[in-house]
Amino acid sequence: MPTILSMVSVTNLTPIPSVLAMILISILFQLHEDVFILIQLTGFAFTVVSAMAVSSLLHIRRTNPGLNKSKFKVLVTYSSCECSFC
């Protein structure tokens, strides 16, 4: 992620550059005529983000096993299966 998108406004405590980027992307999506392509792009983006989240969970569990001290447990096989389905 570019560091400029993670900047937070001190007065409003909001990520203003990220919000502006999302507004720009939304305006560009509004200019497209075919709705079905936008639906497919949204599904693809959701799949990519889900795969990245599950992959990062697997990576953190493998590299830092001491960090997993919560009472909420999810099997690694479940995460692996979800990542392979994405």
Burial class from Cβ neighbours inside 10 Å (0-12, 13-18, 19+) for residue 54 reads buried
Look at residue 36 and tell me if it is in a domain.
no
Rounded to two decimals, what is the model's pTM?
0.53
Phi, psi for residue 7 in degrees, rounded to 5: -70, 140
Q: Outline where 1-86 has alpha helix (H).
A: 16-30, 35-63, 76-85
Shared domain for 49 and 84, answered yes or no, is yes
Shared domain for 48 and 80, answered yes or no, is yes
Q: What is the pLDDT along the chain (86 residues), one digit of tens a residue?
A: 567 666 777 777 778 887 888 888 888 888 878 888 888 888 888 888 888 888 887 888 888 877 766 666 666 676 667 667 65
Question: How many domains does the structure of the chain reveal?
Answer: 2
Shared domain for 56 and 82, answered yes or no, is yes
Predicted confidence (pLDDT) per residue in 37-58, tens digit: 888 888 888 888 888 888 887 8
